[in-house]
Amino acid sequence: SDTLFGATYMVLSPEHPLVGEITTDEHREAMNQYVEGAASKSDLERTDLAKEKTGVFTGTHAVNPVNGEHIPIWVADYVLISYGTGAIMAVPAHDTRDLEFAQTFDLPVIEVVENPDGDNMGFTGNGTAINSGQFTGQSTPEFKKQIIAWLEEKDAGQGAVNFKLRDWLFSRQRYWGEPFPVLLREDGSAVGVPEEDLPVLLPEVENYHPNKDGEPPLSNADQSWLKVEHEGELLTRETNTMPQWAGSCWYYLRYIDPHNDMAPWDKAKEDYWMPVDLYVGGSEHAVLHLLYARFWHKVLFDAGLVSTSKPFKKLVHQGLILGEDGVKMSKSRGNVVNPDDVLVIYGADAFRIFEMFMGPLEEVKPWSIAGLKGTKRFLDRVWKLFQSGISEDDPSDELRRKCHKTIKKVTEDIERMRFNTAISAMMELVNDSNKAPTFPREIAEALCQMLAPFAPHLGEELWEQLGHPPSVAMAPWPTFDASLCVENTVTYVVQIRGKVRGQFDAARDGDRAELEQIALAIPNVQKHLEGQTIRKVVVVPGKLVSIVI
């Protein structure tokens, strides 16, 4: 409700009963083909965040109740009939999927929530209403209350709570999977396996296919496993297995205590390690694994089995790597890159470096063999630099400053997961080191330590060549001197009566008299001083020279 003023189109699921009613004759043939195509796709395929957005215009418009605008009604398969009502109002400025759709079909995008931390586009949190008529300036929570009351007063809507959870089909008809600890009576009623008989392990079978009657593979197990006597009854084990989610939804908890054969995890270890500091995954994880893992964790928290209400502190989406043709990799397109082939030709370190150097971690990026060759050449230059000989001399002041700036940059960029710019900074340091008359140990050791997380094989080799015992991974991270990271040369602005009349580059801590002379010698400054009497010259170190006339 708080983004109603930003709704610029509506979307119905292909199965929605209104589709046939409101589609105009002009668009009916295209609509029928689209609906038929959507019927052949699974919900997972339709909601894949990396999928190109598709849709068909119905030819009909709806009226936005808050501003009377006529907005087009589209049909698109990323909206599911099983989710909510199967119809959405699209606010592209504040929803990623809606924005992708709007950009694909050139639909309007209107920002209606101001992000207190910066960019409004794509912002989905609480902020301040903008471009929202009489509600502009209100906080998101307050706006929600008032807009609902306003809509109810106008008889144009009604407040409601929508639950987004859907039924979860949790059984699979395959061998590999956790067996359900369930026993079945002949009438189909179920009994839980007694706790002392847990866990239920997979039986050995000769045939991993369904049996002749179409029953799951576990039905091929020996009768001694299939039939269980329980309280005087002969019961049959459930032969469906759990999906992969049964393990992946809580694997992070098992990692805490993987060898515990008495409990899933030790309480003291869970108290110490949880929650997970950083979760890195593809965008599809936000829909499936992340949702399911959070759901499981909430249940475990309510049961008092974990100490945190949420499993993950921070989530970072890694961008998809496309084929060289700029399209999502697919066997049918023939644009899939085989990592094994890359490793054989270029090596693991060049491969790692290139993937991190391609661009920001969260962005979608195309694969490039030319770029991979470039990172291989960079590592070759590093190797040659170290083989040129290590000097025990002190580095020049300039090179030492460059090294400390690089340590600062790489350290900060790793924390922010800006690996591409960290690698770029190391490339600059290598270039500057190659220009120096010698390669001092002070620089070599810092460079090796910084490079090791990005190119671990090369890092270990160079660390040993420097005379250190393995492993560089155990060595302290290099530190930087903040005073050496400050630029020596800065740009000074020259002002006359508060207006900028020139600028020049000079030492940050330059002599005041020299800075004043440089400023007064600038032709444009002299032009504005003609016929004027200089009353005072104020020099602000590292910033400006102000001339008072």
Q: Does residue 272 belong to any structural domain of this protein?
A: yes
- 476 and 438 in one domain? yes
Stated pTM of the model: 0.59
- Which of residues 313, 331, 359 is at a domain's end? 313
Q: How far apart are CA 376 and CA 452, in angstroms?
A: 15
493: alpha, beta or left, given left = phi > 0 and alpha = psi -120 to 50?
beta
- 23 and 89 in one domain? yes
Kindly report whether the peptide bond that precedes residue 368 is cis, defined as omega within 30 degrees of 0.
no
Q: Does residue 160 belong to any structural domain of this protein?
A: no
Q: Are 31 and 16 in contact (CB under 8 A)?
A: no
Domains in the chain, number = 5
Q: How far apart are CA 161 and CA 174, in angstroms?
A: 38
pLDDT in tens, the chain (549 residues): 789 999 999 999 999 999 999 999 999 999 999 999 999 888 778 877 657 889 999 999 999 999 999 999 999 999 998 777 899 999 999 998 899 999 999 999 999 999 988 888 888 889 999 999 999 999 999 999 999 999 999 898 888 877 766 677 889 999 999 999 999 999 999 999 999 999 999 999 999 999 988 999 999 999 999 999 999 999 999 999 999 889 889 999 999 999 998 899 999 999 999 999 998 887 766 667 888 899 999 999 999 999 999 999 988 888 888 999 888 888 888 889 999 999 999 999 999 999 999 999 988 899 999 999 999 999 999 999 999 999 999 999 999 999 999 999 999 999 999 999 999 999 999 999 999 999 999 999 999 999 999 999 999 999 999 999 989 999 999 999 998 887 778 899 999 988 899 999 888 888 888 899 999 999 999 999 998 999 999 999 888 999 998
* Type and span of the H or E element at 429: helix 419-435
List all residues 6 or more positions away from 549 whose beta carbon is below 8 Å from its beta carbon.
Answer: 496, 497, 529, 532, 533, 534, 535
- Which of residues 138, 153, 168 is at a domain's end? 153
| Count of other CB atoms within 10 angstroms of residue 212 | 8
Q: How far apart are CA 95 and CA 113, in angstroms?
A: 12
- 494 and 479 in one domain? no
b/e map 151-187, b = 16+ CB within 10 Å: beeeeebeeeeeeeeeeeeeebeebebbbbbbbbeee
* Type and span of the H or E element at 519: helix 512-520
Q: Does residue 328 belong to any structural domain of this protein?
A: no
Select from 336, 328, 337 the least CA-distant residue to 283.
328
Q: Is 272 exposed, middle or buried (0-12, 13-18, 19+ CB in 10 A)?
A: exposed
For residue 87, the SS3 value is strand
N residues, the chain: 549
Distances (CA, A) of 372 to 331, 350, 375, 379, 474: 21, 7, 5, 11, 29
- 258 and 125 in one domain? no
Q: How far apart are CA 170 and CA 180, in angstroms?
A: 10
Q: Does residue 515 belong to any structural domain of this protein?
A: yes
- Say which CATH number the domain at 524 has: 3.10.20.590
- 258 and 231 in one domain? no
Q: Does residue 164 belong to any structural domain of this protein?
A: no
Kindly report whether the peptide bond that precedes residue 17 is cis, defined as omega within 30 degrees of 0.
no
Q: Does residue 323 belong to any structural domain of this protein?
A: no
Q: How far apart are CA 246 and CA 263, in angstroms?
A: 16
Cα R_g (the chain), whole angstroms: 32
- 148 and 10 in one domain? yes
- 455 and 505 in one domain? no
Select from 417, 401, 402 the least CA-distant residue to 356.
417
Q: Are 138 and 127 in contact (CB under 8 A)?
A: no
- 343 and 255 in one domain? no
- 461 and 522 in one domain? no
* Type and span of the H or E element at 525: helix 523-529
Q: Are 135 and 143 in contact (CB under 8 A)?
A: yes
Select from 512, 494, 410, 508 the least CA-distant residue to 453.
410
Q: Are 490 and 508 in contact (CB under 8 A)?
A: yes
Q: How far apart are CA 509 and CA 171, in angstroms?
A: 72
Q: Does residue 163 belong to any structural domain of this protein?
A: no
| Count of other CB atoms within 10 angstroms of residue 255 | 11
For residue 536, the SS3 value is strand
State the alpha helices, DSSP H only, in 70-171: 96-105, 140-153
- 40 and 25 in one domain? yes
Q: What is the distance, to the nearest Å, from the Cα of residue 542 to the centroid of all Cα atoms in its chain?
A: 39
Enclosing domain of residue 199: 182-237
Q: Are 242 and 171 in contact (CB under 8 A)?
A: yes
State the alpha helices, DSSP H only, in 278-368: 284-287, 289-302, 339-346, 348-357
Distances (CA, A) of 13 to 25, 42, 250, 288: 19, 13, 33, 20
Phi, psi of 457 (to 5 degrees): -65, -45
Q: Does residue 100 belong to any structural domain of this protein?
A: yes
Q: Are 238 and 182 in contact (CB under 8 A)?
A: yes
Distances (CA, A) of 459 to 120, 441, 462, 467: 42, 15, 5, 13
- 470 and 351 in one domain? yes
State the alpha helices, DSSP H only, in 16-95: 18-22, 25-39, 43-46
If DSSP states are collapsed to H, E and C, what string results for 173-201? CCCCCCECCEEECCCCCEEECCHHHCCCC
- Say which CATH number the domain at 108 has: 3.90.740.10
Select from 85, 92, 113 the least CA-distant residue to 2.
113
Identify the residue whose tokens are 């054989």: 344
- 455 and 350 in one domain? yes
Select from 144, 146, 143, 136 the least CA-distant residue to 161.
144
Identify the residue whose tokens are 């068909």: 56
- Which of residues 153, 171, 194 is at a domain's end? 153
